[in-house]
Amino acid sequence: MAISKLQRRSLQMYVRFHDTPPTLTTLMRRSLPRVALIAALCSLGATLYYWMDFVQGVGFMLGVFVGVLTMVVGQGRVFLKLWPVFSQVMDWARIQALLAESK
């Protein structure tokens, strides 16, 4: 079975988590590049709104960033709660075989 690059990366992540269970910190580190990009865009938007003397826009940009952070942390917490079940039901031998044949 041919697997995509995304599927391969996901399976590799699951294998790493099988060996060393994930923590919220490790999950947040994986999200850091995207969160940093959104932080930069929100900062740029807030700066533009500030220069335009539109204080509500600055608050909106701050709210967007806080919302993104809340979403990332929430998704990580849900993943951590579900991981023990996923770890038990996954066929680890089949996952290793898929990774080996897709090299």
Domain boundary assignment for the chain: 5-101
Closest CA to 8 of 100, 91, 99: 99
pLDDT at 15: 95
Amino acid at 52: M
Q: What is the pTM of this model?
A: 0.83
Q: First-to-last CA distance in the chain?
A: 12
pLDDT at 36: 97
pLDDT at 32: 96
Residue with tokens 């700066």: 47
